[in-house]
Amino acid sequence: MKTPKPRGLGISAGLEPGLVRDLAARCEQLGYHSLWSNDEPAASGLETLAQFPAAAPQLELGVGVLPLDRHPPARIATEIDRLGIDPSKLWLGIGSGQLRRQIDVLQRAVAELREILPGETRIVVAAMRPRLCRLGGAVADGVLLNWVLPDHVPEARRWVQEGAAESGRPMPVLASYVRVAVGSGSLQRLRDEEGRYRTINEGHRKHFAAMDVPLGSVGVAVSTPPEVRERLTPYQSALDLPIVRVLANADATSLTAVVDAARP
């Protein structure tokens, strides 16, 4: 029998620790592969990640992503050690942030992280456009796409494969956040989130312009929980690891509703 593809669950950094642990325990019960946190200037993704293992010791941990303009490699390594995060369970996502010369910055950062972190740490590069996808294929253990439609994943996969082949490396894991909103106001939540990212920087502007789809099209916004699984199926088929990025109010009922509806 074919083994089902894994599915991750992503939340916002800075949620109340007790709520984070409750969500982690629920995710482990439901069979999620991994738990992920983003990173915000006022809320550390690694600190949020460190709350997960106490409630869900079997799940893998991902942070996506740490922008290098705020998180230089040496500081990342220090924080992982300080927080006691198990490197063997860690998917460490990094992006160039506001730094220029993205390719050079990320190449150097990956090389430095390889030197200072335990060898079992998986390094993930954030990518949307061709050059960064090829770089991810060349140097990383995973490539984290963002704001992508299932129909566009094969092209991104080809870019990543090209980078891996040119460097003589195996194909990295191809993952992506998939925004999911459920219930009343779900489409507006997706539109609000997507609208914020469409103009956040020049890279995102180019990315969304290339997709040329209406606002609120990239992700899953449904009225009822049973619709979530059907809408996630194309993402599950296209990606190695879809990560359900929860769009909900920061309370237990709202967050758990999405966690349950999007279960593997």
Determine what percent of the chain is predicted with pLDDT higher than 70. Answer: 99
Q: Is 13 helix (H, G, I), strand (E, B) or coil?
A: coil
Mean pLDDT, residues 8-25 taken together: 96
Element (H, E) at 145: strand 142-145
Region 193-221: what's the mean pLDDT? 93
Q: Give the model's pLDDT for residue 3.
A: 63
Residue range 59-80: mean pLDDT, rounded: 96
The type of residue at 51 is Q
d(C-alpha 165, C-alpha 134), whole Å: 10
Both tokens assigned to 28: 């482990």
CA distance 74 to 120: 17
Amino acid 102: pLDDT? 86
Give me 173's structure tokens. 């894991």
Question: For helices 186-198 and 202-211, what crossing angle results, to 10°?
Answer: 120
> Within 13 Å of residue 181, how many CA atoms lie on the same side as its CB?
20
Least reliable range by pLDDT among 35-39, 165-169, 203-207: 203-207
Q: Domain locations in the chain?
A: 8-261
Identify whether the C-beta of residue 145 lies closer than 8 Å to the C-beta of residue 131: no
- Which fold, 8-261? TIM Barrel (3.20.20)
- Phi and psi of 157, rounded to 5°? -60, -40
Q: What would the mean pLDDT of 173-200 be, rounded to a whole number?
A: 96
Mean pLDDT of the chain: 95
Global pTM value:
0.96
Report how far residue 3's alpha carbon sits from residue 188's, in angstroms, rounded to the nearest whole number: 35
Residues 245, 36: Cα–Cα separation, whole Å? 9
Largest CA-CA distance found in the chain, in angstroms, rounded: 49
247 DSSP 8-state letter: -
Q: How far is residue 222's CA from residue 188's CA, in Å, rounded to a whole number?
A: 11
Residue with tokens 């030197």: 115
| Alpha-carbon gap, residue 122 to 140, rounded angstroms | 8
Find out whether 86 and 121 touch, Cβ atoms under 8 Å.
Answer: no
- Give the mean pLDDT of 72-97: 96
DSSP 152: G
